[in-house]
């Protein structure tokens, strides 16, 4: 039924799906009836970029505006074909029908008539900008097992709770949160770029540059504290960048609880932890 062209790039966050969900909700149709065309700079509408945690919040609002405009066009076209005033008809996603009589016309017939017997097509586009940027919130706790001889850390359990407003797609939001947590674990414990005296990166392959794998994640649990953001699409706020923030402070606190030592530089590698414990033992002697 509908072709949707977006300027926002889906970088794996699922924005194509989320925006299609919003369009389907606005147009009272099934998401399977929305065909999303990914970004093609030759034909896509302009978008400032998929960054700053803005895709769902800003492009989502633009999607809602576009669908509202398209609904008005569908109603106007249907009313004209039924020889009625636009204020005397309504649209339920499948047909335009009269609220004062039994007249109605299907969306399929409207589309065919517009295409074959009209000089205009039913299209709409919109943009969105706002000075408002409502912040999301996140809290997390981590349970670790720390070997005081080697400084090695095993993450046993990581629990996170996110407030990103109304969750548009719980499955995608959960996966994005889990991915951000794992990325944050890498930043907190492993990822350390080193250069030689000539400025060449020493650990320039994944043999030397450690990133967390599934074995390093432990048990991840993600929950959402639902709220409603009145300025966002269907009450949603951002989630993209927030989810990487909690691992570093949570792990820092957990390491302090285990060793009595605060580590204030990232990454908090096993070597740093082991040397810190050794220095503390020597000081106490």
Structure confidence at residue 274 (pLDDT): 96
Q: Quick one: pLDDT band at residue 9, thresholds 50, 70, 90?
A: confident
| Strand partners of residue 163 | 137
Q: Which domains does the chain have, with CATH numbers?
A: 2-117 (3.30.365.10), 137-284 (3.30.365.10)
Q: Does the pLDDT at position 177 exceed 90?
A: yes
The chain-wide mean pLDDT, for the chain, equals 92
Q: Quick one: pLDDT band at residue 250, thresholds 50, 70, 90?
A: very high
**How far apart, in whole angstroms, are the C-alpha atoms of residue 113 and residue 109?**
6
Q: Average pLDDT, stretch 151-158?
A: 96
Q: Does the pLDDT at position 139 exceed 80?
A: yes
% of the chain exceeding 90 in pLDDT: 76
Strands 137-146 and 153-163: antiparallel
Structure confidence at residue 63 (pLDDT): 95
**How far apart, in whole angstroms, are the C-alpha atoms of residue 173 and residue 176?**
5
Q: Does the pLDDT at position 120 exceed 80?
A: no
Both structure tokens of 258: 């285990």
Structure confidence at residue 54 (pLDDT): 84
pLDDT (tens digit per residue) in 34-67: 999 988 888 888 887 777 788 899 999 999 999 9
Q: Quick one: pLDDT band at residue 240, thresholds 50, 70, 90?
A: confident
Q: Average pLDDT, stretch 206-210?
A: 90
% of the chain exceeding 70 in pLDDT: 100
Phi, psi of 20 (to 5 degrees): -65, -40
Both structure tokens of 86: 């636009």
Structure confidence at residue 49 (pLDDT): 75
Q: Quick one: pLDDT band at residue 256, thresholds 50, 70, 90?
A: very high
Beta-carbon neighbour count of residue 150 at 10 Å?
A: 12
Structure confidence at residue 89 (pLDDT): 96
Q: Kindly provide the b/e burial profile for residues 267-280, where b requires at least 16 CB atoms within 10 angstroms of the residue's own CB.
A: bbbbebbbebbeee
Structure confidence at residue 258 (pLDDT): 96
pLDDT (tens digit per residue) in 65-106: 999 999 999 999 999 999 999 999 999 999 999 998 999 999
Q: Does the pLDDT at position 198 exceed 90?
A: yes
Q: What is the pTM of this model?
A: 0.87
Q: Average pLDDT, stretch 256-270?
A: 95
- Largest interatomic CA distance in the chain: 95
């Amino acid at each position: 039924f509908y072709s949707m062209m977006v300027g926002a790039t889906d970088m794996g966050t699922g924005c194509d799906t989320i925006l299609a969900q919003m369009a389907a909700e606005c147009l009272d149709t099934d998401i399977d009836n929305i065909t999303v065309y990914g970004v093609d700079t030759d034909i896509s509408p302009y978008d400032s970029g998929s960054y700053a945690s803005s895709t769902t919040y800003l492009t989502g609002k633009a999607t809602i505006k576009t669908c509202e405009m398209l609904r008005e066009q569908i109603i106007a076209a249907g009313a004209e074909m039924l020889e009625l005033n636009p204020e005397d008809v309504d649209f339920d996603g499948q047909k335009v029908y009269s609220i004062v009589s039994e007249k109605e016309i299907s969306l399929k017939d409207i589309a065919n008539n517009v295409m074959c017997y009209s000089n205009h097509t039913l299209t709409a586009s919109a943009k969105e900008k706002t000075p408002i940027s409502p912040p999301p919130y996140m809290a997390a706790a981590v349970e670790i097992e720390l070997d005081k001889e080697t400084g090695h850390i095993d993450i046993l359990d990581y629990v996170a709770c996110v407030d990103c407003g109304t969750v548009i797609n719980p499955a995608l939001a959960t996966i994005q949160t889990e991915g951000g947590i794992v990325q944050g674990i890498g930043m907190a414990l492993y990822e350390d770029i080193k250069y030689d005296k000539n400025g060449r990166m020493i650990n320039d392959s994944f043999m030397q540059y450690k990133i967390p794998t599934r074995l390093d994640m432990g048990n991840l649990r993600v929950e959402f504290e639902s709220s409603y953001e009145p300025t966002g699409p269907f009450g949603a706020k951002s989630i993209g960048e927030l989810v990487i923030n909690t691992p570093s402070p949570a792990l820092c606190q957990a390491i302090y609880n285990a060793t009595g030592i605060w580590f204030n530089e990232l990454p908090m590698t096993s070597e740093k932890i082991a040397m810190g414990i050794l220095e503390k033992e020597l000081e106490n002697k």
